[in-house]
Structure 1
Amino acid sequence: MSKQPSGALLFVLTCAMGVGPLLNYGLSTVSPLVIEDLDISEGQFGLLATAIFASAAVCSMWLGKLSDRISNRAQLVLIFAGTAVALVIASLAHSYLVLVIAALLAGPAQAISNPTTNRIIISQVPAHKRPGWIGVKQSGVQGSQLFSGLFFPIVALWAGWQGATALAAVVAVGLLLYGLRKLPENPITTAVPAPSAATPPSRVAPPAADSASSSRSAATPKGSGTQTRFPLSVWLFAGYSLLAGLGMQATNVYLPLFTVRELGFSLVMGGVAAGVSGVVGVTSRVLWGRRMAKGVRASTLLILLGFGALTGAAAFFAAGALDLPALLWLGVILHGATVLGANVVVMAGVMRVVPAQRVGAASGIVSMGMYAGFAAGPLLMGLLLEATGSFHTGWLLVGAGYLLCSALGFALRAYGNRTGVVR
């Protein structure tokens, strides 16, 4: 009888996804203090997030391939210890340049988190449970947003934003020690069974049309290495991740500042707004993962998520233009329920269209698109804020990106009805 993956392992994977964004979420929640203390502009503050995610984007493909080769324990050290180092440097920053260096160091830890956790899931978890596990582990990112929204502003009130950053580094080290204890030594290969008469067909492979190309991908010889092409759906997923990531991080980075500056919220209430978005995001990622586990097509969910996120961006725009805080909370809820859950659908979709031995590399490609969007979003929002003096144009940009997300969802749906591996 095969050993089943433990709840402790799921917790470690969730933390592995959540620890990387601690620096950018934490700085975002205390952005008014950082801007005042370092005497920088809103645009310069946005560049910190751009530095984090540009660093992650540059490293993503290489780290994705690396995750297929090095041990899981080594990857956990890269994720948790790398984040802790970045947080410590940030806590010592008394100049903008040092904070930029910390941001650049935080990128790789985030870049390898998806490939690492996806590889562990595919080697440890039965196929029919993987979408649900992906939903839970991806919720770690929004769990980090919730933690940061409450932890950083409150600690910053008595220890300053640098003190809060230092304590967050201690949390990262503690999670690393726990993770190394709970991570299984060897893959449970029996957890990835081949189809057999004893296994119901519905449990072996999702009936989604989006996976029409997966049979061709799975038939690729193991020894073909990097010469093998990925199906077009992988690149569509990467494009969706880029556009969704642009809007997601433009919102995440500037939401607390938007609430304080445009709606008159306190620093703590601005953090609460980010935290509420994180709470909704945790729930949405679990729910979207369950929908994927039931065989719903990735394209169907991605189309709906794109239009829902567009409605959320419109709510943010209207909240600022009309000075209506109620619309802000509507936008926060829609942001958490839609775009914050999209990555679950994307990563579960990737697992459907590539063979197990190439999941790390494929995840790296999709992560590269996501982090490129993460880098572009705060940069563009900051530049527009400085140029116009308001958030209005920024919210329009975010909304346009979400509209294009839905268009890519339709393209993925059309491609899912075709066969063959296309570059």
Structure 2
Amino acid sequence: MNPAAVALVATTAIQIAAAAAALTLPAIAPVVARDLGVPTSMVGTYIALLYVGSSTAALAGGGIVLRVGAIRLSQLCLIACAAGLALGLVPALAAVAAAAVLVGLGYGPITPASSHVLAKTTPREKLALTFSIKQTGVPAGTALAGLVVPPLAVAYGWHAAVLAIAAACALLAFAVQPLRAALDADRDRSARLSAGQLVAGLRLVAASAPLRTMAAVSFVYAGMQMCVSSFIVAYLAEEIGLSLVVAGLGLTTANVAGVAARIVWGAIADRWLSARAVLAWLGALMAAASALAALFAPGWPLAALLAVAAALGATAIGWNGVYLAEVARLAPAGRAGLATGGCLFFTFVGVVVCPFLFGVLQRASGSYALCFAAAAGVCALAAAALGLSGRFRAPSGSA
């Protein structure tokens, strides 16, 4: 297997494991909340704390990867995820809150580390497709948590289910050790680790207009992605009147479409359109899909509802790989991880802020439809700003 393929397989496996770890406790939130004596809705606080840790660690990760190497950093991240899951077994709210932050600290640097590896091992003409394939690890890991963790919890108890995912993360950390010599050969032991590394990625983004644009767009797109994932089931169940099981098909459909679309958009960005053009079109299509979702009514056929859910997934969940490939392309040589960490800070902030605002608007208006209409407007503005911010470059494969 050639080095590019090895790097892609390894980083995708690591991404799947980290994503599964992030969603392990939320996947069994009802039973965990019952044992802790808190409302299940507290899972929202868990997710928020996780992304606070992720956003902070993503900033640091871009600098740490230069000193220790991307594989070593990924190993440390997997161990942090495993330790966080183990901490979540302690029957105390403070411990679970700390667990969320610790899992987030492990989750955040995974993407900057993988970007560093893939940027140096992938041919430029295959960059967007490769990053898109790797990013399928996020919905794949989410799906894995949903498919595996609840049945394990039913069969053996939720503590055993959590420990199983923690053990898988730890085992993968050891399994990738043989790859370190080759993939971490560019690490710089003289690189300094300091508090300044937390802002080095931000400084890099601030100094580059194209990177600033990518960071701003990712704030909106990532926020929309989390809004779809967080609220589509509630919308279909509470306003449209579907059963919880049938409403869950909407979320499943969106994620399946998102996995497939990530690969399709990556291929398009490599062969026919520039990454910026693809991202602008995705924003416009995201807005259109959200506007259609705002028109949902109890009389709509299930097939039509699922078709719109698929469109939301293909756009709001399908954009990430193209975005990360473009960030890596725009970064100075050898600084893909640093640039990715800086941009991901804004991505993760969008993940926290946008669903919060969506929820505030829903509680104030009592209407999920109004929220999706508002989201459509925001996505349309982001797409327009991206489209007007500069001339589209040619696809990398045409050079």
Greater Cα offset, 321-330 or 67-76:
321-330
What is the identity, as a one-letter code, of the residue corresponding to 2:71?
A: R
What is the identity, as a one-letter code, of the residue corresponding to 2:54?
A: A
What is the rounded CA distance, in whole Å, between the counterparts of 1:185 and 1:332 in structure 2? 42
- Counterpart for residue 20 of structure 1: 18
What is the identity, as a one-letter code, of the residue corresponding to 2:139?
A: Q
Confirm or deny that 1:250 pairs with 2:227.
yes
Confirm or deny that 1:144 pairs with 2:121.
no
SS of equivalent residue, structure 1 residue 177? helix
Of 366, 375, 381, 1:404 maps to: 381
Number of residue-to-residue matches in the alignment = 378
- Counterpart for residue 106 of structure 1: 103
The superposition leaves residues 184-233 of structure 1 with CA deviations (integer Å, 9 ceiling, x where unpaired) of 535688xxxxxxxxxxxxxxxxxxxxxxxxxxxxxxxxxxxx68963201
Confirm or deny that 1:9 pairs with 2:7.
yes
What is the identity, as a one-letter code, of the residue corresponding to 1:301?
A: V
What is the identity, as a one-letter code, of the residue corresponding to 2:121?
A: Q
Q: 1:46 Cα deviation (Å)?
A: 1.9
What is the identity, as a one-letter code, of the residue corresponding to 1:81?
A: I
- Counterpart for residue 134 of structure 1: 131
Q: 1:14 Cα deviation (Å)?
A: 0.7
Of 246, 265, 268, 2:243 maps to: 265
- Counterpart for residue 374 of structure 1: 351
- Counterpart for residue 120 of structure 1: 117
Structure 1: runs of 5+ lacking an equivalent: 190-225, 418-423
- Counterpart for residue 335 of structure 1: 312
Q: 1:138 Cα deviation (Å)?
A: 1.1
- Counterpart for residue 61 of structure 2: 63
Confirm or deny that 1:172 pairs with 2:169.
yes
What is the rounded CA distance, in whole Å, between the counterparts of 1:174 and 1:152 in structure 2? 17
Confirm or deny that 1:303 pairs with 2:280.
yes
The 1:251/1:227 distance shift into structure 2, 3 A limit, reads: closer
The 5-angstrom pairing of residues 22-421 of structure 1 reads: 22-33=20-31, 38=36, 40-41=38-39, 44-90=42-88, 92-186=89-183, 230-259=207-236, 261=238, 263-266=241-244, 273-294=250-271, 296-319=273-296, 325-389=302-366, 391-414=368-391
Greater Cα offset, 30-39 or 373-382:
30-39
What is the rounded CA distance, in whole Å, between the counterparts of 2:124 and 2:279 in structure 1? 22
The 1:270/1:412 distance shift into structure 2, 3 A limit, reads: same
The 1:43/1:6 distance shift into structure 2, 3 A limit, reads: same
The 1:75/1:114 distance shift into structure 2, 3 A limit, reads: same
Q: Is the 8 A contact 1:289 1:344 kept in 2?
A: yes
The 1:414/1:36 distance shift into structure 2, 3 A limit, reads: farther
Compute the RMSD of aligned alpha carbons: 3.2
Structure 2: runs of 5+ lacking an equivalent: 187-202, 395-399
Identical counterparts, % of pairs: 20
What is the rounded CA distance, in whole Å, between the counterparts of 1:88 and 1:271 in structure 2? 29
What is the rounded CA distance, in whole Å, between the counterparts of 1:228 and 1:409 in structure 2? 16
What is the identity, as a one-letter code, of the residue corresponding to 2:148?
A: F
Q: 1:378 Cα deviation (Å)?
A: 3.3
Instruction: Considering Cα pairs closer than 8 Å and 6+ residues apart, tell me whether 1 or 2 has the greater RCO.
Output: 1
What is the identity, as a one-letter code, of the residue corresponding to 1:342?
A: W
Q: Is the 8 A contact 1:316 1:327 kept in 2?
A: no
The 1:152/1:240 distance shift into structure 2, 3 A limit, reads: same
Q: 1:244 Cα deviation (Å)?
A: 0.8
What is the identity, as a one-letter code, of the residue corresponding to 1:400?
A: G
What is the identity, as a one-letter code, of the residue corresponding to 1:108?
A: L
SS of equivalent residue, structure 1 residue 405? helix
Greater Cα offset, 30-39 or 178-187:
30-39
What is the identity, as a one-letter code, of the residue corresponding to 1:231?
A: S
What is the rounded CA distance, in whole Å, between the counterparts of 2:96 and 2:305 in structure 1? 30
SS of equivalent residue, structure 1 residue 250? helix
What is the rounded CA distance, in whole Å, between the counterparts of 1:158 and 1:299 in structure 2? 47
Q: Is the 8 A contact 2:117 2:183 kept in 1?
A: no
The 1:157/1:303 distance shift into structure 2, 3 A limit, reads: same
Greater Cα offset, 242-251 or 155-164:
155-164
- The TM-score, its normalising length taken from structure 2, stands at 0.82
Q: Is the 8 A contact 1:304 1:406 kept in 2?
A: yes
